[in-house]
Structure 1
Amino acid sequence: MSDLYDITEVIMASDELAAEDTMPSNDYYESTSPRISTPPESFPEVSTIFKYEKDTRLEVMEWLSRNNDNNKNVIYINSESITAEKLYDLCDKHIWLSSDHINAYLSYLNSKFHRVFSLTTFFYTRLTEIGGYKYSSIEHWTKRIEIFQKDIIFIPININESHWILAAIFMKEQFRIAILDSLGMITTEGAVNIGGNLIRWLNDEYFHKIRLCKGDACEFGSDIIGEINLNGQVDFALDIMFRNGDPPQVDGSSCGVFVCMFARLMAENIERDIIMKIAKFREASIKFRKVIYTDLWEYAKENKQVDIKFEVKYDEYK
């Protein structure tokens, strides 16, 4: 029996996996279906998560106007960066988030929550760019990260260059791979394919960085995630969220915001059911745009990357 997990036996269907594959109708974006009106702040667990600084927008605007060469106005978050112009774009609720936005915010989460680890938006594309699976393309991406010591691993994924979704691997106790698609468009087959590729990647990570690691040459002292069953496998449940009922996204531009919001809520240990409810709040994604640029701006100020020496007046964007 191979020491690697048998992928054909690893993925177990959740209740939602059996949901019928459906695509949004042509009038989806004009849907008038009822939304949850309870604001996220009504949940004590998230009251501080959705707070943002009202003056951040004007501070960023002033920073942006200082220099005609916007590339010189850059915030660095670990190995990721974002320009003042990109940061200010978040003030527009109709702007589609780019890789720069998502990578910067998920990198911020890596700094804020050491129990989680976020891979970049390019990871899954590189892993599967040849139309299949190629571990050697990303083998060195986690060279200095003990992923098997993390509680959750986040993988943002771009679907057909037009839509962001998030995969979250729960590495402790639950052994769950959650696929969070704010539009509810991903098919069961597509989700299973993503889950299978990620489990295969975990197998390869274990084989190349732990199992073959011996003596002083070993860079990782981690144990394999959880307990292995008698067949040398770890069972993961595949959880396709937002497959039943109305998905939370009702526009064509906020999928990247949902990816960042989902990651933040899970990093904060917010329960699955509460995340589902918060996502259905009609203003959740609009509020979280403000949270994103506030968090990144405050991070830059705390790390002395920006120096604002002027008084701003509140001018909330509509």
Structure 2
Amino acid sequence: MTEHNDPSEDNEHSEPERITALAALIGWAERRERIASDRADLVADAWRTGTRSVMELARCARVSRDTIYADLAARGVEVSRRGERHIGPLTGRGAPLDAESVRAVSRIADAVTRPAYAHDPADPVTRAALAASGALGAVADVLDPPVDQGPGWDPKDTLPHLAERGQTVSHQAHQALAAVADRAELAAAAEFRRRGLLHSGRNAVADAVTLTVTVPTGETVTVDLGTDETGWTTMAGGSDLVGDAVGTLDHLEVQAAFQILAQVVTRHLTERAIAPRPTETLPGTPPTRTRHLPSSDQH
């Protein structure tokens, strides 16, 4: 049997597609190697914090009871001592971030997101996921700078890169939200968020901002950003150099900018600006989002 390993032979696909496919395969292999160890740690932690039902642990982990017994034994947990309140230290408590572990997670995330990006590079959720995987890599670089690669890897250089990745995630999430939510929903959400922050008695809110911006021609323009009575963003430039039509994405990003500015001001509020903490729930508060774990048929 002859093995062919020359990708140029009988291959209609491009080199990037080949690399993407290999990245997906590598990611699957890394996930397979790590999943059993991670599961055993989590099972042991769940047991040590009070969940002493093997059947319940099996349902939550979606594995057999035999697997749960094996995981507990691998982490030094004696099931016969289930009556004790706490047995041994938690595996996931008190350990600092490890650069190599974060880097491994970043590689796995990259292997998952890059094939999706190759499939649909315009999808904002996929782009957000790709940026998030890059953010994990940036975290690893902050924790353990690859100084052997040359200059530019000091935390003062890599932390701005991490912040930029976060901004990309936020922008792409707003892109996705703008495509599925209508104006009335977004305006109502902004107004409720404003009332909620004020209701806390601890937070300032930004109602309007006047910006002085310099456009690429070098001219200076004043732009007024605000919010109308419904919660929708308003923009007035007073110049033919800047339009004033506010789209859905514009609204979301202006409101996000308002929140950041208000957070800065909130950090500087004096005691005279703080109101008593409310005892009642803000009217109109939606129910708490919950996630229900499916049961497993494996026992």
Whether the TM-score (by the shorter chain) exceeds 0.5 is no
- Greater RCO structure (CA 8 Å; 6+ sep): 1
Normalised to the residue count of structure 2, the TM-score between the two structures is 0.26
- Structure showing the higher strand proportion among its residues: 1
Question: Rg larger in 1 or in 2?
Answer: 2
Larger helix proportion of the pair: 2
TM-score of the two chains, using structure 1 as the length reference: 0.24
